[in-house]
Amino acid sequence: MKLGLVSTCSTRNLGEAAIYAALAQLAPERRVHCSLSESFPAIVRGLERDRHLDDCDAFVSAGGDGIGNAGTKPMTRRYLRMLAEMYLRRDRTFVFGQSIPASRQGISQRMLSTVLRRLASVVVRDRKSHQILKNRGLDAGLSYDTAFVLRPQTQALEAAYGLLARHGLNPERTALISLCGASAFHDVDRDNCDRELLDIAGKLAERGHQPAFLIQSDGSAPGGERTQAMRLSRTMDNVPIVDPFAVQVPSSPCDVLIALLSLANIVVAIRYHSAVLRLVTGRAPFVLHRSDTGSDLCDRLGLPGQRMSSGIEPGLIEAIEKSADMTFDPDPIARDVTDHFTECIKKVA
């Protein structure tokens, strides 16, 4: 079965890339196909680029931030195009491991529900999205993020060791802090976010850790992670910026990210997939969540964390340090994801 991806975004967002790699691992052919056009695509294991997907046997909607997420805008051309794309292939299309974003309300949510109701199958990754669809009368499944099936790759571990060494970082002391940049998807104040991250990094450094800012999405836009990292690094001297995109091929940036998250003693995860990809290595993050999906992950899996912009409360740094010793077994979650995916495939076979 040739499986095509719809609702794709960018391979240079490593959360999205992780989803594509996971879907390729789950697919019957152990690969997936997309028509995504990018000027500088990142390598993703199992992802093949085709100009046309007309000969695909089935399709899966693969967007990571949410189904046709448009940030604060309820309707965009991209969103309408995504709905049309799924509807026209409705008998062969399923939605897997996504969320219903907050912007999907009113007529936007009704249109989405109408299309989803006609698809072969729908499985979401968080309880709030599941409840929204149930309230709309959809028989949707509930699982977890698709990337839970991924595992660290040996070649990427070697590259990650080298990247940390380049910045003078000892893995046993490293505290990776993922960034968020400015996002239309999340209601996060830039200045408050910066202050909180600088406070956490400073206090961790005072206690003998080696904080570093982690890039997960590659872009030079004014509100992007790279800009935020440079801004924070200028404010706090000697805090390195760890960039998975800086590693040369053949390792994919996504695999390098997973390897980095496995090696670091502490991970403070703001981005949702920083948390997920730390968990697949068998270690727990401290989740500084900024969304319903992040808080859902903490609640369902019993992870340490708090909402971003809650401030540096007494005991926060100690809780972050304790997370370094927490182990996690990703195998039951991976089996749950695999079982749900297998059922979806059967419905479009």
Sequence spans of domains, the chain: 3-149+333-348, 154-329
Domains 3-149+333-348 and 154-329 fall in the same CATH topology: yes
Confidence category of residue 107, pLDDT binned at 50, 70, 90: confident
**pLDDT tens profile 163-213:** 999 999 999 999 999 998 655 445 567 888 899 999 999 999 999 999 999
H-assigned helices in 140-271: 154-166, 190-206, 225-235, 253-263
Report which of 142, 286, 107 is spatially closest to residue 211, judged by C-alpha positions. Answer: 286
**pLDDT tens profile 25-41:** 999 999 999 998 898 99
- Residue carrying the six token digits 């297998």: 342
Quote the CA–CA distance of 37 and 50 in Å, as a whole number: 9
Report which of 248, 184, 250, 182 is spatially closest to residue 217, judged by C-alpha positions. Answer: 182
Quote the CA–CA distance of 300 and 287 in Å, as a whole number: 13
pLDDT above 90 coverage of the chain, percent: 69
Alpha carbon 283 to its chain centroid, in Å, reads 17
Instruction: Say what the pLDDT of residue 184 is.
Output: 45
For residue 28, give the 3-state DSSP assignment.
coil
Question: Distance of CA 29 to CAs 4, 7, 198, Å?
Answer: 11, 20, 45
Structure tokens at 275: 């948390």
Residue 50 has pLDDT above 60, yes or no: yes
Cβ-based neighbours of 137, under 8 Å, separated by 6 or more: 113, 117
Residue 69 has pLDDT above 80, yes or no: no
- List the beta strands (DSSP E) in 69-208: 93-98, 121-124, 141-142, 174-178
Instruction: Say what the pLDDT of residue 70 is.
Output: 46
Fold (topology level) of 154-329: Rossmann fold (3.40.50)
> How do beta strands 241-242 and 141-142 pair?
unpaired
Instruction: Say what the pLDDT of residue 102 is.
Output: 64
Structure tokens at 150: 């991924």
Residue 42 has pLDDT above 90, yes or no: yes
**pLDDT tens profile 273-316:** 999 999 999 999 999 998 889 999 999 999 999 998 777 788 99
Instruction: Say what the pLDDT of residue 73 is.
Output: 54
**pLDDT tens profile 112-165:** 889 999 999 999 999 999 999 999 899 999 999 999 999 999 999 999 999 999
Asked whether the beta carbons of 127 and 141 are under 8 A apart, the reply is no
Alpha carbon 309 to its chain centroid, in Å, reads 20
Higher-pLDDT residue of 52, 273: 273
Quote the CA–CA distance of 312 and 305 in Å, as a whole number: 12
Q: In what order do the strands lie in the sheet with 266-269?
A: 241-242, 210-214, 174-178, 266-269, 286-289, 305-307
Total number of residues shown for the chain: 349
Q: In what order do the strands lie in the sheet with 121-124?
A: 47-49, 32-34, 3-6, 58-61, 93-98, 121-124, 141-142
- Following CA atoms 44, 50, 56, 59 in sequence, which dihedral angle do they give, to the nearest 10 degrees? 50
Instruction: Say what the pLDDT of residue 286 is.
Output: 98
Fold (topology level) of 3-149+333-348: Rossmann fold (3.40.50)
